Amino acid sequence: MLLSLDAATVRLGGRAVLDAVDLGVAEHEVVCVLGPSGSGKSTLLRAVAGLQPLSCGRVLLDGRDQCGVPAHKRGVGLMFQDHQLFPQRDVGANVAFGPRMHGVPKGERDAEVGKLLELVGLPGAARRSVAALSGGEQQRVALARALAPRPRLLMLDEPLGQLDRSLRERLVVELRELFGRLGTTVLAVTHDQGEAFALADRVVVMRDGRIAQSGTPLEVWQRPADAFVARFLGFDNVVRATVVGEAADSPWGKLPVPEGTPQGGRTLLVRPAGVRLVPADAGLPCTVTARTFKGTHVAVRLQPADGPHLEAACALRDAPETGASVGVEFDAAEIVALD
C-alpha cells in the first residue's frame, strides 16, 4: 500500500471529526472519498498532508509512519478546494513553485512548467496573471501546480466543486484520462456522487467521521451498504419490510424481491426504475404530487393512499400530469435488500 491509515482519529473540540478510519490506497489507484459536508472528508486529506495532527492512530506512506513529519517533507500533493493560487504570481510562477522549493534548476523548471501547462490544456499560459483566469482555467493551473513536484500521492479536495455543471462533466473525463495516462495515485474527496463514480477506481463513502462503505463504483451503486448510503446516493425509496420467500411485506403492500434475498426484517431499496406506472385500476393506487425533469427521464413523485411517498422514473412522453391518479407495480430486479 502506498498510503495506509491505521485507526486515524482527529478530535476537534471534543468531537471526533475523523473516527478511527482505516483506509488503504494502492499505487496507481484512484480512490474517491464521498460524503456530505461535515462528514470529515477534508479533515482526512489534511491529516494525510500533515496539515492536521492526528489525535491518535497513524498515517503511513510507503509503510513509514508520518508522525512528526511536517507537511513540506511528506512528498504528497494537495489541490485545495478553491485552488489557493498565489495571487501575486503569474501562472508559470505558480506551477514552478513546487520544483523551486525542491531546488530544481531554472532551465529544467521552465521546461517542466511548459510541459505541464500543455498537459492540462493551457499551452503558453505561463505569463498570464492568475487573476485573469476563468474558474476552469484556475482549476487546471492548480492541477498543474500540484503535479509539478511529482508527488507520490496526489490529493484533490472537491476538485471541481465550484465549476458549472457542463464544465465539470467535461473536466472529470479529462482528469480520469490524465491520471490513467500518468499512472498517478490519487485520493480525492467530493460530495458529488457523479464526480466520484466517474473519477474513481474505488469509492469510499463517509458519514460522521467513519467509513460507511468502500467498493468499486458499480458495487456501491448497485448495493448501497445501508439506508444512509442509499439516501446519500439519491435513492428515496427506502423502507423497512419483512421478507418471506420471494415477497416482502412493506408499507406499499407486497413487493416482489429477487431470488436469494435474505429472509426476515430487512431494509429494502426500490430503485426508481423499478417503479412501473400502470393504469389507475391496476396495482398500488397513487396520486402524482410532483414531476421533476431530469434530462433523460422524468422523476415522478407519488403519494400512495397509505405509507411513505414513492419516486418513479419514467420516459418523457409517458409522464403523467401532476394530480393524476395512477397505479404502481414493482420490478423485482430493481429491488435490493440493504442489510
Partner 1 sequence: MALPVAFFAVFFAWPVAAIVARGLKVDGAWQFGRIADVVTQPDIRHVLWFTTWQALASTALTLLLALPAAYVFARFDFPGRAVLRAVVTVPFVLPTVVAGSAFLALVGHHGLLDELWGVRLDTTVWAILLAHVFFNYAVVVRTVGGLWAQLDPRQEEAARMLGASPLHAWRKVTLPALAPAVAAAALMVFLFTFTSFGVVQILGGPTFSTLEVEIYRQTSEVFDLSTAAVLTLVQFAAVGAILVVHAWTVRRRESALRLVDAGTTARRPRGAGQWALLAGVLVTVALLLVLPLAVLVRRSLDAPGFGYYRALTDSDGGTFLVAPVDAVWTSLQYAVAATAIAVVVGSLAAAALARRDAGRLVRGFDALLMLPLGVSAVTVGFGFLIALDKPPLDLRQSWILVPLAQALVGVPFVVRTMLPVLRAVDARLREAAAVLGASPWRVWREVDLPLVRRALLVAAGFAFAVSLGEFGATVFIARPDNPTLPVAVARLLSRPGDLNYGQAMALSTILMVVCAAALLILERLRTDRTGEF
Note the residues at the interface with partner 1 (CB under 8 A): 49-51, 70-73, 76-78, 80, 82, 84, 86-88, 97-98, 101-102, 145-146, 148-149
Exposed/middle/buried for residue 69 (C-beta within 10 Å: 0-12, 13-18, 19+): middle
**Nearer CB in complex with partner 1: 78/122:** 78
- Helix (H) or strand (E) run with residue 312 in it: strand 310-314
Q: Shortest distance, CB of residue 231 to partner 1, whole angstroms? A: 31
> Taking Cα atoms as reference points, which of 218, 217, 224 lies closest to residue 267?
224
Which contacts of 245-251 are long-range, i.e. CB under 8 A and separated by 24 or more positions?
A: 246/332, 248/335, 250/307, 251/306, 251/307, 251/308
Q: Shortest distance, CB of residue 156 to partner 1, whole angstroms? A: 12
Under 8 Å between Cβ of 299 and 312: yes
**Nearer CB in complex with partner 1: 148/310:** 148
Q: Shortest distance, CB of residue 67 to partner 1, whole angstroms? A: 17
Distance of CA 208 to the CA centre of its chain: 15
Cβ contacts of 183 within 8 Å, gap of 6 or more: 28
- Helix (H) or strand (E) run with residue 181 in it: helix 165-182
Q: Shortest distance, CB of residue 172 to partner 1, whole angstroms? A: 22
**Nearer CB in complex with partner 1: 87/245:** 87
Distance of CA 156 to the CA centre of its chain: 11
Q: Shortest distance, CB of residue 211 to partner 1, whole angstroms? A: 24
**Nearer CB in complex with partner 1: 101/282:** 101
Q: Shortest distance, CB of residue 288 to partner 1, whole angstroms? A: 41
Q: Shortest distance, CB of residue 39 to partner 1, whole angstroms? A: 20
- Helix (H) or strand (E) run with residue 138 in it: helix 135-147
> Taking Cα atoms as reference points, which of 32, 24, 7, 27 lies closest to residue 204?
32
Q: Shortest distance, CB of residue 49 to partner 1, whole angstroms? A: 5
Dist. CA 253–CA 260, nearest whole Å:
20
**Nearer CB in complex with partner 1: 81/267:** 81
**Nearer CB in complex with partner 1: 141/313:** 141
Dist. CA 250–CA 267, nearest whole Å:
10
**Nearer CB in complex with partner 1: 51/218:** 51
Under 8 Å between Cβ of 184 and 152: no
DSSP code, position 187: E
> Taking Cα atoms as reference points, which of 254, 258, 260 lies closest to residue 328?
254
Q: Shortest distance, CB of residue 180 to partner 1, whole angstroms? A: 24
**Nearer CB in complex with partner 1: 150/291:** 150
Dist. CA 336–CA 189, nearest whole Å:
27
Cα angle 51, 52, 57 (rounded to 5 degrees) comes to 130
**Nearer CB in complex with partner 1: 67/101:** 101
